[in-house]
Amino acid sequence: MALLGKGVLAIWNGITETGEAEFIRWHIREHIPERVGLPGFLRGRRYIAHEGNPKYFNFYETETPQTLQSPAYRARLDAPTPWTQAVVREFRDTSRTICEVVASLGTGEGAWVETIRFGRADDPEILHRGVVSLIKDIAAEDGIVGVHFLRGVNGQGSVPTVESKLRGQPDVTCEWILLVEAATKGSVDALRIGVCSDEAIHRLSSGATAERGTYLLQYALTHAEIGRTG
């Protein structure tokens, strides 16, 4: 479906083998509910890699990109819970980008997502126009339920937080991100040999690197669900 807001926090992370089970418990029982409960946060989702690295992809939909630089959110980043402190120390190869939504098409939610991370392009405007044109073709393909084009916000992460320091190495950021939601793995496979093939992506990238992965949805939570009882 179309994204719920105009901002996205896109995160890829690996996790140590010893920390993985606790990461999954923490993410569902504390971290995603904590984040999605903040003002301006609309939905959080976590996916696991079928093909691609790092192993986990997470993203949060927010009212605006500024939500992700708000005092309320910054306060959480500077006061991580003891459980967060323990788990985040086990993160590896973290990519974390505050994004604005350039375009978002679709109806419903898909179990699968194809992620494409673009590095710095020689001509960002050519990349922008090319991807905006391509997403209409992608959205028309069978089994595709959502296509989202995101642009990284300049100047993010310039001031370290308590939480970011726990990860032990600077986070990678992306210039541009393309997310394609699909109902089935077969729909993703068809894209990879069709309108969204490696060759098609490289033609658009204008000198940019393009790293892709296929991920399966594990968990999603909306702001409206916070605090509900059975």
Tell me the pLDDT tens digit for each residue of 114-144.
999 998 777 888 888 999 999 999 999 999 9
Q: What are phi and psi of 35, to 5 degrees?
A: -70, -50
How much of the chain, in percent, has pLDDT values that exceed 90? 81
Q: Is residue 114 within 8 Å of 212, Cβ to Cβ? A: yes
* Number of residues in the chain: 230
Q: Predicted confidence band at 229 (pLDDT cuts at 50, 70, 90)?
A: very low
Distance CA 35, CA 56 (A): 17
Q: Is residue 62 within 8 Å of 68, Cβ to Cβ? A: yes
For residue 69, CA distances in Å to 36, 106, 161, 176, 190 come to: 15, 27, 12, 19, 38
- Report the pLDDT value the prediction gives residue 126, as an integer from 0 to 100: 86
Q: Which domains does the chain have, with CATH numbers?
A: 7-225 (3.30.70.100)
- Report the pLDDT value the prediction gives residue 149, as an integer from 0 to 100: 97
Q: Predicted confidence band at 230 (pLDDT cuts at 50, 70, 90)?
A: very low
22-72 confidence digits (pLDDT tens): 999 999 999 999 999 999 999 999 999 999 999 999 999 999 999 999 999
Q: Predicted confidence band at 225 (pLDDT cuts at 50, 70, 90)?
A: very high
